[in-house]
């Protein structure tokens, strides 16, 4: 039903009030830019043909968003109608949704309801509105006998109109051909000397074209981010919505207000998240995990794991592992089933096989560790020679004693026992016992504290 809809996103603004050199639409909340959230809402609603009007640092916006979209440039920001004029080649056929690139809370459900309203009422123009207790700077919806008459920007409102609570969201659906017909009639005779797309409403009605306003159930979808305070509020509202969705799917949160989950994260039922847990975009977490005050980024976590106050970045942890507290799993790390990594263990670019353990204070870099291996306290994989990184391999069922240094490249066989305090520089065969220490020397001091 929605395949014939296209969408044009207005994303040319400077965003001066953000106090940033970055284009406003690239400001991020919940792991994505504002513009990406708008695009995601459209894609989820089944709208795939999308055009984007850029302006300030347009190349930066295009490089960030990537290909697959039609881009148009608004060299001077002269209003929303002017932005649409810059993309007139996009207005070819069928209904076109026009959205603001800095309003990230518009979602799939709202868009589908909005499109249904447009189709069911055989309209040529639909305006998405909301009822706000404090309308602030939003344009007011002017109705006559309940029907849409026009939209008036706040700066052009009379004192009486300022008390109207129904506001314009900045989202519209136009018949593309009809919109092209009226764009040339829109002037800039207003307090801002800009070409307002809101003026198209009055022109549609004047020309006898069916136009109406759809008031959505969730007033938050109209919120845009013009300042850092607005950005923070949008993020708070989006995080609340994300958390509620996960909880409905069976994820327990001890305190949702201090649990931070980005858009697009997948979490299985039965997982419990404790306060101050941060899960960034690109992460996938299975069922029945317990995660306490940890940060997980671009990582895949299996099921039945216990992760305590740790950082996991671009890594994979399979099932029934115990991680932390204060462990750090860095990129390109694979932790297989039933592994234990305890206090202050750091693992980077390594594979640790099933039932192996590093209880505390160990660094594993560029390593490959077999099954049932024990790494004692203070084991260090010395993987860097000042120029290149080198690999350390440890076979199954080996025991590496405390404070052992493994100088890579080195290969330790299976069932090897290395005594505490050793420094290993050569390969060890299977079933070897290795001890590499200097002879202990004891000297007593004389009465004058001299050796």
- Tokens representing 288 are 């029945």
Q: Is residue 443 part of a domain?
A: no
Identify the pLDDT of residue 450: 58
Q: Please tell me the predicted confidence (pLDDT) of residue 1.
A: 67
Count how many Cα atoms sit within 13 Å of the Cα of residue 396 in the half-sphere of its side chain.
Answer: 3
Q: How far apart are CA 349 and CA 313, in angstroms?
A: 11
CATH number at residue 304: 2.160.10.10
Of 37, 64, 360, 390, which one is the catalytic site residue?
360
One domain for residues 295 and 194:
no
Cα-Cα-Cα-Cα dihedral of 397, 403, 404, 409, to 10°?
110
d(CA 403, CA 406): 10
Boundary (domain end) residue, out of 206, 222, 238? 222
For residue 145, what pLDDT is reported?
86
Q: Are residues 150 and 290 in the same domain?
A: no
Say how far residue 232 (Cα) sits from the centre of its chain: 14
| Total domains in the fold of the chain | 2
DSSP 214-227: EE-S-GGGG----S
Do 16 and 75 sit in the same domain of this protein? yes
| Residue 256 phi, psi (nearest 5) | -55, -30
Crossing angle for the helix pair 34-44 and 108-120, to the nearest 10 degrees: 50
Active site residue 360: yes
Question: Could you tell me if 218 and 257 lie in one domain?
Answer: no
Range of the domain at 390: 250-434
SS3 content of the chain, % helix, strand, coil (to 5): 20, 30, 45
CB-CB neighbours of 381 under 10 Å? 28
Assigned domain for 318 exists: yes
The CB-side HSE value for 174 (13 A sphere, CA atoms) comes to 29
Instruction: Of 334, 272, 351, 273, give the one whose Cα is nearest residue 300.
Output: 334
Does residue 33 sit in the same domain as residue 108?
Answer: yes
Provide the edge-to-edge strand list for the sheet that holds 328-329: 259-261, 277-279, 295-297, 311-313, 328-329, 346-348, 363-365, 380-382, 405-407, 423-424
Give bridge partners of residue 266 from the DSSP assignment: 284
Are 145 and 271 in the same domain? no
Are 383 and 339 in the same domain? Answer: yes
Q: What is the pLDDT along the chain (451 residues), one digit of tens a residue?
A: 677 999 999 999 887 888 888 999 999 999 999 999 999 999 999 999 999 999 999 999 999 999 999 999 999 888 899 999 999 999 988 999 999 999 999 999 999 999 999 999 999 999 999 999 888 888 899 998 888 998 888 888 888 899 999 999 999 999 999 999 999 898 887 767 788 898 899 899 999 999 999 999 899 988 989 899 999 999 999 999 999 999 999 999 999 999 999 999 999 999 999 999 999 999 999 999 999 999 999 999 999 999 999 999 999 999 999 999 999 999 999 999 999 999 999 999 999 999 999 999 999 999 999 999 999 999 999 999 999 999 999 999 999 999 999 999 999 999 999 999 999 999 999 999 999 988 777 888 776 665 5
Phi/psi at 243 (5° precision): -65, -40
45, part of any domain = yes
CA gap 166, 377 in Å, rounded: 65
- Residue 442: inside a domain: no
In a domain, 386, yes or no: yes
Report the pLDDT value the prediction gives residue 340, as an integer from 0 to 100: 98
């Amino acid at each position: 039903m929605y395949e014939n809809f296209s969408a044009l996103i207005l994303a040319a603004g400077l965003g001066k009030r953000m106090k940033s050199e970055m284009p406003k639409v690239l400001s991020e909340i919940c792991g994505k830019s504002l513009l990406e959230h708008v695009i995601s809402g459209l894609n989820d609603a089944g709208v795939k043909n999308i055009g984007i009007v850029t302006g300030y640092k347009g190349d930066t916006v295009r490089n960030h968003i990537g290909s697959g979209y039609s881009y148009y440039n608004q060299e001077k920001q002269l209003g929303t109608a002017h932005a649409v004029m810059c993309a007139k080649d996009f207005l070819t056929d069928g209904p076109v949704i026009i959205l603001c690139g800095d309003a990230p809370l518009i979602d799939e459900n709202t868009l589908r309801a909005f499109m249904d309203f447009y189709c069911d009422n055989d309209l040529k123009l639909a305006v998405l509105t909301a009822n706000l207790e404090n309308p602030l700077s939003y344009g007011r919806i002017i109705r006559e006998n309940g029907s849409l008459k026009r939209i008036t920007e706040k700066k052009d409102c009379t004192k009486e109109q300022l008390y109207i609570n129904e506001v314009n969201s900045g989202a519209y659906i136009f018949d593309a051909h009809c919109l092209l017909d009226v764009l040339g009639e829109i002037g800039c005779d207003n307090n801002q000397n800009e070409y307002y797309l809101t003026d198209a409403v009055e022109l549609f009605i004047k020309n006898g074209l069916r136009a109406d306003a759809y008031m959505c159930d969730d007033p938050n979808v109209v919120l845009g981010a013009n300042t850092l305070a607005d950005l923070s509020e949008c993020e708070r509202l989006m995080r609340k919505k994300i958390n509620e969705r996960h909880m409905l799917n069976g994820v327990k949160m001890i305190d949702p207000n201090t649990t931070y989950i980005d858009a697009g994260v997948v979490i299985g039922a039965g997982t419990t998240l404790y306060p101050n847990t941060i899960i960034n975009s690109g992460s996938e977490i299975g069922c029945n995990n317990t995660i306490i005050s940890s940060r997980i980024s671009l990582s895949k976590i299996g099921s039945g794991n216990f992760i305590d106050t740790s950082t996991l970045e671009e890594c994979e942890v399979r099932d029934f592992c115990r991680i932390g507290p204060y462990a750090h799993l860095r990129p390109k790390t694979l932790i297989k089933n039933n592994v234990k990594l305890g206090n202050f263990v750091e693992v980077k670019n390594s594979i640790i096989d099933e039932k192996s353990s590093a209880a505390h204070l160990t660094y594993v870099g560029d390593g490959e560790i077999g099954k049932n291996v024990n790494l004692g306290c203070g084991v260090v994989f010395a993987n860097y020679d000042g120029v290149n990184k080198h690999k350390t391999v440890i076979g199954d069922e080996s025991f590496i004693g405390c404070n052992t240094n493994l100088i890579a490249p080195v290969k330790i066989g299976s069932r090897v026992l290395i005594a505490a305090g050793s420094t290993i520089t050569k390969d060890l065969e299977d079933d070897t016992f290795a001890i590499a220490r200097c002879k202990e020397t004891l000297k007593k001091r004389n009465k004058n504290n001299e050796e």
